[in-house]
């Protein structure tokens, strides 16, 4: 995957917490990695762009393009290539599949970044909104922290109008991928206000990244600031075991300690679910925090005292 940053990120990239997420290092180039698909998305792609892995949910990859390329991306094998860009015919095939599978009631638009290709996302949503069996829509995006000013462009303003229209009829979630509190600039916080005016629910997703956010204070600040600004912290992930991304993976034991401390310090709604996406394609599993003993007969209370259950 080649290096790609937005103008906005270039200005912020001297900040190590942001720069290290995007600036290609020697390790990335030298190893000649063959990036893998641990979530087994490719084998669940039922028509081009549509992943149907869980009975009632489907994920649509709008394209493989994003405003900037994250070095730790789970879909690093695809990002930046043209092969995933949906055409009108692809969209029609996806809609036909969803209509034929009314058990799918929850559809997630991802990619690539759906807000980076607003014309495709608009075409897709225009048809998706009329499928009665689809009850919930979600968009996963990282564009708010990569280029907040893009949300003032005409195509995205028009897309947000459509999102707002749909959100008045069906629950609509925007899942924003954020890694570090330094990404929450005044421009980003102001964009959250605009997004909240579209009647959507804002949620966040964060991946544990070695040397970037693998400490309690950083994540505490991140989740607290998100919560204060109307974004509910949703998932905190263990980094997927994609070959070539080893430099970013934090040992699970260290993550459990951090997540346990976060649970002590944050209110329930401000504390995301700590999960691992199992690499056989099984799905997300919650990781137990360090409260319980192995046989679940005793546990530590919030102060660390041992109590019998
Ligand atoms: S924005 Fe998302 S999909 Fe795009 S490279 Fe980053 S993590 Fe991957």
* CATH number of the domain bearing residue 238: 3.20.20.70
Pocket of ligand 1 (CB under 6 A): 66, 69-70, 73, 75, 79, 111-113, 142, 177
Radius of gyration of the chain (CA): 20
What domain count does the chain have? 1
H or E element in which residue 187 lies: helix 186-196
pLDDT at 241: 86
Alpha helices in 13-153 (DSSP H): 16-22, 26-30, 88-100, 118-128, 143-146
**For ligand 1, atom 6: residue with the closest CA:** 70
Q: Would 280 be classed as within a structural domain?
A: no
Ligand 1 center to residue 68 CA distance, Å? 7
For ligand 1, pick from 80, 111, 178 the residue to mutate: most ligand atoms within 8 Å of CB: 111
Ligand 1 center to residue 297 CA distance, Å? 42
Q: Would 159 be classed as within a structural domain?
A: yes
For residue 124, is pLDDT > 90? yes
pTM of the model: 0.94
Q: Would 306 be classed as within a structural domain?
A: no
Q: How far apart are CA 309 and CA 293, in angstroms?
A: 10
Closest ligand 1 atom to residue 111 Cα is 3
Task: Name the pLDDT band for 291 (thresholds 50, 70, 90).
Answer: confident
Ligand 1 center to residue 112 CA distance, Å? 6
C-beta separation of 54 from 261 below 8 A: no
Query: Which residues share a beta bridge with 108?
Result: 59, 138
pLDDT at 87: 98
For residue 32, is pLDDT > 70? no
**For ligand 1, atom 3: residue with the closest CA:** 112
Q: Would 298 be classed as within a structural domain?
A: no
Q: Would 300 be classed as within a structural domain?
A: no
pLDDT at 281: 66
Q: How far apart are CA 84 and CA 33, in angstroms?
A: 21
Task: Name the pLDDT band for 282 (thresholds 50, 70, 90).
Answer: confident
**φ, ψ dihedrals at 253, nearest 5°:** -60, -40
For residue 26, is pLDDT > 90? no
Q: Would 303 be classed as within a structural domain?
A: no
Q: Would 286 be classed as within a structural domain?
A: no
Ligand 1 center to residue 132 CA distance, Å? 30
Separate counts of helices (H) and strands (E) for the chain = 10, 12
pLDDT at 31: 62
Q: How far apart are CA 272 and CA 223, in angstroms?
A: 8
Pairing of strands 45-47, 50-54: antiparallel
**φ, ψ dihedrals at 250, nearest 5°:** -95, 140
Domain that holds residue 155: 7-275
**For ligand 1, atom 1: residue with the closest CA:** 142
**For ligand 1, atom 8: residue with the closest CA:** 73
For ligand 1, pick from 35, 79, 108, 141 the residue to mutate: most ligand atoms within 8 Å of CB: 79
Q: How far apart are CA 2 and CA 259, in angstroms?
A: 33
For residue 292, is pLDDT > 90? no
For CA atoms 163, 171, 111, 132, the dihedral sign is negative
Ligand 1 center to residue 251 CA distance, Å? 22
Could you read off the pLDDT of 197-248 as tens digits, one per residue? 999 999 999 999 999 999 999 999 999 999 999 999 999 999 998 888 889 9
Ligand 1 center to residue 76 CA distance, Å? 8
For ligand 1, pick from 177, 235, 244 the residue to mutate: most ligand atoms within 8 Å of CB: 177
pLDDT at 254: 96
For residue 60, is pLDDT > 70? yes
Q: How far apart are CA 257 and CA 261, in angstroms?
A: 6
Closest ligand 1 atom to residue 72 Cα is 7
Average pLDDT, the chain: 94
Q: Would 219 be classed as within a structural domain?
A: yes
C-beta separation of 51 from 98 below 8 A: no
Q: Exposed e or buried b for every residue in 17-49, given b needs 16+ CB within 10 A?
A: bbebbbeeeeebeeeebebbbbbbbeeebebbb
C-beta separation of 56 from 106 below 8 A: yes
> Could you tell me the two tokens for 141?
């995006």
């Amino acid at each position: 995957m080649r290096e790609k940053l937005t103008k906005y990120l270039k200005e912020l990239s001297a900040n190590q917490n942001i720069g290290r997420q995007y600036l290609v290092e020697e390790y990335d180039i030298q190893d000649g990695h063959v990036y893998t698909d641990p979530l087994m998305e490719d084998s669940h792609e039922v028509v081009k762009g549509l992943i149907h892995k869980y009975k009632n949910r489907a994920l649509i990859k709008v394209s493989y393009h994003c405003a900037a390329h994250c070095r730790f991306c789970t879909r690093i094998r695809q990002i930046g290539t043209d092969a995933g860009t949906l055409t009108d015919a692809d969209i029609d095939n996806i809609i036909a599949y969803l209509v034929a599978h009314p058990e799918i009631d929850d559809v997630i638009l991802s990619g690539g970044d759906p807000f980076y290709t607003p014309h495709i996302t608009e075409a897709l949503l225009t048809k998706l909104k009329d499928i009665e069996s689809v009850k919930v829509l979600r968009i996963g995006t990282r564009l708010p922290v990569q280029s907040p000013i893009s949300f003032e462009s005409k195509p995205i303003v028009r897309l947000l109008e459509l999102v707002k229209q749909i959100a008045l009829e069906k629950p609509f979630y925007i899942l924003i991928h954020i890694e570090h509190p330094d990404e929450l600039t005044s421009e980003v916080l102001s964009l959250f206000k605009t997004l909240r005016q579209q009647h959507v629910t804002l949620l966040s997703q964060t991946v544990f990244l070695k040397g970037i956010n693998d400490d309690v204070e950083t994540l505490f600040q991140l989740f607290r600031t998100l919560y204060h600004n109307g974004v509910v912290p949703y998932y905190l992930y263990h980094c997927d075991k994609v070959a070539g991304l080893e430099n970013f993976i934090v040992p699970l034991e260290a993550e459990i300690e951090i997540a346990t401390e976060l649970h002590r310090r944050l209110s329930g709604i401000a504390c995301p679910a700590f999960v691992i996406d199992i690499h056989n394609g099984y799905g997300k599993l919650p990781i137990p925090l360090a409260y319980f003993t192995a046989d679940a007969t005793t546990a530590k209370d919030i102060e660390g005292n041992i109590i019998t259950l």
